[in-house]
Amino acid sequence: MSHPMFERHQGLLQQAVAAIGTRGFWSAYPESYRAYGDNAFESGRVAFEAYRGAQFYLDQPGVSGRCGEEQSPYGLPLSITYPRCSDDSLIAAAKVAMTAWAKATPDTRAGVLIEALHRLNAASPEIAHAAMHTTGQAFTMAFQMAGPHAQERGLEAIANAWRVMTQLPPSVRWERSHGTAANANPPTVLDKKFSIVPRGVALVIGCATLPNWSAYPGLFASLVTGNGVIVKPHPNAVLPLAITVAAIRQTLKEAGFDPNLVSLLVDDANAPAVRELALKPEIRIIDYTGHSEFGEWLETTARQAVVFTQKSSVNCVVVESTDDYKGMLRNLAFAVSLSSGQLPTRTQTILVSNEGVKTPEGLVPPEQLGRDLSFAVGRLLDDSARAAEVLGAIQFPSTLATLDSIQDEASTNGSILRPSIPLQHPQWPQAKLRTPLLLKASMKDGDIFGAEHVGPISYLVQTSTTSASFAITERIARDSGSLGLSLYSVNPVIHGLAEDVAMRSGVMLSVNLTGGLLFDPLAGFSDFHGTGGNRAANSCQTDTHFVAARYTIGEVRVQR
């Protein structure tokens, strides 16, 4: 008998599986907050306000106190505390909870988890305010990235894992004959039983800028394959994942399972817990999103676990020619401004050859491209309300310090194309808004533009040829890591070269994006985030390996 939650969501699961197979456009959850009711923004704000200055409740084992140090980039006092729990207690409780969960069918696990996503989707307005005031994203982006887009990534992980797991027959009778002669031995008959065996307790280490969007694939992939999960958020982006964990725990409890299957581990900068926890033998799966240094430490040190990492990246654009120069400029201006350059998919390095950009109106020299891009950024951000929605707020003082340091140095060598200036947020006067810093560079400056600079910092690099531009992108992918490469060209030969470069470099290639396409750079059920082909990521979310590596196959053979 199937679980009622599976029966409730079976249709959605089948649609998700079909979408994974076709890779076309399909959306499970509306991405506009207006679709969640006329009062969605205000109701979400009221729910978020209830968390401020309060103790976030989670009935978890091993509580030894409370902690919390989140700071809103918009200047709003948060003062939220969370239970501080013993990691050993969370591990022990997860192992107990896994006993019944691992014995449940893939149908049951998928149904319960999709029900949790359904409830999280309904809570998207409050999650959006939580994400906005922890990450610094503007409300619309926070709603999409922490709400429906993250939920779709979780659903994709569930559907992909369910599809793979259900391809395995639960049992089979294996029979081998020994010839047809009258004196032949009787056939050998074995009854074989196959089982999905979870690896063990999983650890999801959240990032500061995209807490839900980056965590949901690993979180739901581990859960649906039978593993328990400990979620360790970034100290400044706890609330979105705390709401997530609370919703999953409540759903598990109502479905008849132990809620300690998933738990929240909160630490702070003065008492970090993750390094010790990551090396414990009970931790068998780790999902990490964040800076490369710690990600590479996990890859090389946490040998007892299967480790999936999404790390730092330097994403490049090669500009050779275009049939829509203004559209290209609008998109580049948006790309260098979006979320103040704090997302892993941001555009940092733009390369153009000395020959300039071929357009229907004639050749545009590199110097003119720099002036035109600076002007396009100015037009994009000339309205304060629009600028606030595009830029969001800068999350950390260290990002501002880096920005100011680079700008001060650039002002002495004349490399500034457009300075970064403060803007006033129309609603949050304490928010730190800065326009993008655009710098010009040459090929000899590779150590500068080839390194990651978090924040609104971009480089326009003048190269000798387009081939040299491609060579630079390959080197950056190899040495620093890249998630994406963009190309503007109307030349089919250049397209072919770019595809070869992208395949060798292990990056996603985007060609001639204009209009609003960069507003949603990665589409659930269609695009793959990361390839595992360079230093930016050792895995791809969410391909078959991403889900299947979280379990082993158990087999029992009985002779009949």
Could you tell me which of 429, 430, 411 has the C-alpha nearest to residue 420?
A: 411
Res 243 pLDDT > 90: yes
List b or e across 149-166, with b for residues whose CB sees 16 or more CB atoms inside 10 angstroms.
bbbbbbbbbbbbbbbbbe
CA–CA dist 141, 149 (Å, integer): 10
Residue 534's DSSP bridge partners are 537
CATH number of the structural domain spanning residue 390: 3.40.309.10
306 and 405 both lie in a single domain: no
pLDDT value for 359 = 97
Give the burial class of 488: count Cβ atoms within 10 A of its Cβ; 0-12 exposed, 13-18 middle, 19 or more buried.
Answer: buried
Provide the pLDDT confidence category of residue 185 given band limits of 50, 70 and 90. Answer: confident
- Residues 310-327: tens digit of each pLDDT: 999 999 999 999 999 999
Split into its structural domains, the chain has a count of 2
Please check whether residue 59 lies inside any domain of the structure. Answer: yes
Beta-carbon contacts of 244 under 8 Å, excluding residues fewer than 6 positions away, are 120, 127, 212, 215, 216, 219, 231
262-264 vs 422-423, strand pairing mode: unpaired
Closest CA to 161 of 519, 546, 535, 491: 546
Helix spans in 123-179 (H): 124-135, 139-146, 148-165
**CATH code at position 286:** 3.40.605.10
pLDDT digits (tens, 9 = 90+) for 205-231: 999 999 999 999 999 999 999 999 999
State which H helix or E strand residue 204 sits in. Answer: strand 201-205
Residues 453 and 505 in one domain: yes
Same domain, 274 and 343: no
Round to whole Å and give the CA distance between 255 and 9: 14
Same domain, 52 and 130: yes
Average the pLDDT over 34-46 and give the result.
Answer: 94
pLDDT digits (tens, 9 = 90+) for 197-210: 999 999 999 999 99
Q: Do residues 159 and 13 lie in contact, with contact meaning Cβ atoms separated by under 8 Å?
A: yes
Domain that holds residue 432: 315-519
Q: How confident is the model at residue 195 (pLDDT cuts 50, 70, 90)?
A: very high
Report the alpha-carbon distance of residue 51 to residue 430 in Å, rounded.
21
At residue 270, does pLDDT exceed 80?
Answer: no
Q: How confident is the model at residue 272 (pLDDT cuts 50, 70, 90)?
A: confident
Whether residue 81 sits in one domain with residue 56: yes
* Mean pLDDT over each residue of the chain, to the nearest integer: 95
Question: What is the gyration radius of the CA atoms in the chain, in angstroms?
Answer: 25
Exposure letters 363-375 (e unless 16+ CB within 10 A, then b):
ebebeebbebbbe
Statement: residue 262 has pLDDT above 80: yes
Report residue 115's pLDDT band, with 50, 70 and 90 as the boundaries: very high
Is 99 part of a structural domain of the chain?
A: yes
Other CB atoms closer than 10 Å to residue 256's CB: what's the count?
12
Report the distance separating Cα 481 and Cα 409, nearest Å: 25
| Claim to verify: residue 271 and residue 325 sit in the same structural domain | no
- Is residue 5 one of the residues assigned to a domain? no
Measure Cα distances from 114 to 103, 147, 274, 361 in Å. 18, 14, 28, 52
The DSSP string of 396-413 is -HHHHHHHHHHHHHHHHH
Comparison of pLDDT for 517 and 547, the residue scoring more: 547
pLDDT value for 273: 83
Q: Are 207 and 394 in contact (CB under 8 A)?
A: no
Domain annotation covers residue 4: no
How large is the average pLDDT for residues 236-258?
98
- C-alpha distances (whole Å) from 408 to each of 359, 397, 404, 439 are 35, 16, 6, 12
Token pair listed for 240: 């979105």
Work out the percent of the chain whose per-residue pLDDT is above 90: 93
* Residue 10 domain flag: no
pLDDT value of residue 258: 98
Note whether residue 30 is domain-resident.
Answer: no
412 and 467: one domain? yes
pLDDT on residue 271 = 72
In a domain, 283, yes or no: yes
Q: Which two tokens stand for residue 341?
A: 């350059």
Residues 381 and 463 in one domain: yes
Least confident of 42-56, 231-245, 415-429, 509-523: 509-523
**Token digits of residue 160:** 């992909």
Q: Mean pLDDT throughout 446-451?
A: 94
Predicted pLDDT of residue 518? 53
Looking at the fold, whether 412 and 543 belong to one and the same domain comes out as: no
Q: Are the C-beta atoms of 44 and 129 separated by less than 8 Å?
A: yes
SS3 content of the chain, % helix, strand, coil (to 5): 45, 20, 35
| d(C-alpha 11, C-alpha 21), whole Å | 16
Amino acid making up residue 299? E
200 plus 340 within the same structural domain: no
Averaged pLDDT for residues 253-265: 98
Residues composing the chain? 560
Domain co-membership, 304 together with 322: no
Are the C-beta atoms of 211 and 233 separated by less than 8 Å? yes
CB atoms under 10 Å from CB of 89, counted, come to 16
| Domain assignment of residue 364, yes or no | yes
Do residues 484 and 536 touch, judged by C-beta distance below 8 A?
A: no
Is the Cβ–Cβ distance between 308 and 288 less than 8 Å?
A: yes
What mean pLDDT is predicted for residues 391-415?
94
**pLDDT tens digits, one per residue of 483-534:** 999 999 999 999 999 999 999 999 999 999 987 655 456 888 999 999 999 9
pLDDT of residue 367: 96
269 and 395 fall within a common domain? no
